[in-house]
Amino acid sequence: MNNKHQQDTFADIAAGGINFSNSNLIRPKPPQLKGKYFEVKGIDEKAIFTPLKKMDTKEELYTELENQKKYYKKFFEDLAPSLKSYRIRTYLEEFDWRIQTEEDQQNFRGVLEGAGRWEQLKVPHYGAPVGKAVTYYRTRFDLSQEQMDKGALYICFKGVDYKAHVFVNDSFIGSHEGFFAPFEFDFTPYAKQGENTLVVMVENDFICINICAGFHVLIAGFNIYF
């Protein structure tokens, strides 16, 4: 067996260190350029930029701001002609309202049909109960043949806190979750000429903290677009 130490080339390189000598390097020098001057002839004196007078006081600043507002006001004018709206809108403001009971949990059909003791109110509606709870909003609205002929019927909410489940003529048309965001549903397949019934089941959530109490709120009115 040969125990003779073998030469490690890379170890020798590391042991020898690095030569930082730059005696063989040449530092390039920037070229010497001659200055060039361009003569401008026939220039319009009005085209020469003249710096504005420097403002030194608050009064001068406010005065100049008012001058600039007056100057740019004409650029913000709304000159577009008003467009004719081809939508027929029905605003629903009066509702029957009540809190969910144990019987409602077993017989939701009764809620859709208007069973129970209801309180009349107008939206937007803000109020109890606080915490985990469910309430119902119910109303009726009429649809004309002209509205039916539009071919697309939407019910639009400006906001419901916190979960909303929407029923038109006893049919579920959609749910929405989340505070103040507006939303809408297409209820064309469930609509009929004459009287229609709208029921909104609203679920309130648990209280988050004392200063941010979850409360049952119908934020804004309904808009039905046709």
Domain definitions of the chain by residue range: 89-225
Say which amino acid occupies 211: I
pLDDT tops 50 at residue 140: yes
Q: Is 169 left (phi over 0), alpha (psi -120 to 50) or beta?
A: left
- Categorize the per-residue pLDDT at 42 as very low, low, confident or very high, splitting at 50, 70 and 90: confident
Of residues 208 and 170, more confidently modeled = 170
Question: pLDDT tens for residues 45-100?
Answer: 777 788 888 899 999 999 999 999 999 999 999 999 999 888 899 999 999 999 99
Are 213 and 137 spatial neighbours (Cβ–Cβ below 8 Å)?
Answer: no
- Categorize the per-residue pLDDT at 167 as very low, low, confident or very high, splitting at 50, 70 and 90: very high
Work out the average pLDDT over 106-119: 95
Name the CATH superfamily, with its identifier, for domain 89-225.
Answer: Galactose-binding domain-like (2.60.120.260)
Work out the average pLDDT over 209-221: 40
Write down the pLDDT at residue 52: 82
Work out the average pLDDT over 100-129: 93
| Cα dihedral sign, 208-211-217-221 | negative
Q: What is the pTM of this model?
A: 0.62
